[in-house]
């Protein structure tokens, strides 16, 4: 089974588009929904909850798009 992937990236995606402010949470392998947040902290909280719920790999990128945190979660029952 392929593990879903959840990412936190600067607004505008990865690599970042500097004209778009805020942070996006994207989920690959689930429903592919992208949610936009005004702060990285809010985006990270949402991404962690989602990754735990679906058992995903989590990639959090910094403002330049560089990977700064990686975690792997098992799906919650």
pLDDT of residue 40: 92
Residue 14, preceding peptide bond in cis (omega within 30° of 0) = no
Residues 2-45: pLDDT tens digits?
A: 788 999 988 865 666 667 788 999 988 656 667 889 999 999 99
Taking the domains of the chain in order of start, what are their residue ranges? 5-72
Residues 52-68: pLDDT tens digits?
A: 998 999 999 998 889 99
Q: How far apart (Å, rounded) are the C-alpha atoms in residues 76 and 59?
A: 19
Please, is 56 exposed, middle or buried when counting C-beta atoms within 10 Å of its C-beta (0-12, 13-18, 19+)? buried
């Amino acid at each position: 089974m392929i593990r879903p992937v959840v990412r936190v990236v600067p607004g505008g995606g990865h690599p970042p588009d500097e004209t778009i402010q805020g942070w996006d949470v994207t989920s690959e392998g689930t429903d592919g929904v992208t949610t936009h947040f005004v702060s990285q902290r809010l985006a990270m909280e949402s991404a962690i909850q989602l990754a735990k719920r679906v058992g995903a790999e989590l990639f959090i990128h910094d403002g330049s798009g560089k990977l700064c945190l990686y975690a792997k979660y098992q799906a919650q029952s």
